Copies of this chain bind each other. A is one copy, B any other.
Amino acid sequence: MENKEISKALLKRLPLYLQYIKALPENTENVSATKMAKALGMGDVLVRKDLAKISGDDGMRKLGRAKESLIRDISAFLEVNRTTCAVLVGSGKLGRALMDYEGFDNAGLHILAGFDSNPVAPETDGGKPIYSVNRLESFCKSHEVAIGIIAVPADNAQEVCNKLVACDIKGIWNFSPKHLTVPDGVIVQSEHLESSLSALRIQMKNN
């Protein structure tokens, strides 16, 4: 469990490294792990270990790592250049905001359509279609859908999850405050805003 979490934590740090490196002045040739660690408020050893995992060979570290190869390695690891198609279920405010969020397209996630038991509109402000959830199965059969995004209330989340799994979707991105049970071979990534809030408040209290 803890191993898995640390590995998830690494995956959350990598985009920060990538952003930092890309924002360096254009004529920068080498990236100093020490400077990057300091700028990002992270531990020096941690950053070095992370870069060694992604970019291999740690021998040159005194000189820093070549900027361009580091960008290439991290991008390849995160697969930011690959496009993944998704459907989203739940067309409330959060669901529609996610469907129209431009950051996902930049990160290679293309949300093809939204589904809802009772669509409030035929499409989002950004022009993404919202269909009846009855059409989910046929839609998934006729499109290559890798990820199902859940943005429904907690009470409906497991039912929606089961439907997505039945459509042979192997990755569930869960924005409902509900723990989901899935069969082996399906991965769930959950965003728990209430949990993050608790984490923030407790850190503030202990600070």
Contacts and interface: CB of A to CB of B under 8 A. Distances in A.
Interface of A: 1-2, 5-6, 8-9, 11-12, 14-16, 19-20, 39-43, 46, 77-80, 82, 84, 93-94, 96-97, 100-101, 103-104, 106-107, 109, 125, 146-147, 154, 170-171, 173, 177-179, 181, 185, 187, 189, 191-205, 207
Q: How many copies does the complex hold?
A: 2
CB-based closest 3 A-B pairs: A189-B200, A93-B97, A97-B97
Contact of A196 (B12, B19, B39, B100): B12
A187 B202 CA distance: 10
Contact of A197 (B77, B93, B96, B107): B107
20 contacts: A2-B6, A5-B6, A11-B202, A15-B177, A16-B192, A16-B195, A79-B205, A80-B198, A93-B96, A93-B97, A94-B101, A103-B177, A106-B194, A147-B200, A171-B200, A187-B200, A187-B204, A189-B199, A189-B200, A191-B196
B93 A101 contact: yes
A1 B82 CA distance: 31
Given A6-B5, A41-B181, A173-B197, A189 B202 contact: no
Which residue among A11, A94, A106 has the maximum number of chain B CB atoms within 10 Å of its CB? Answer: A11
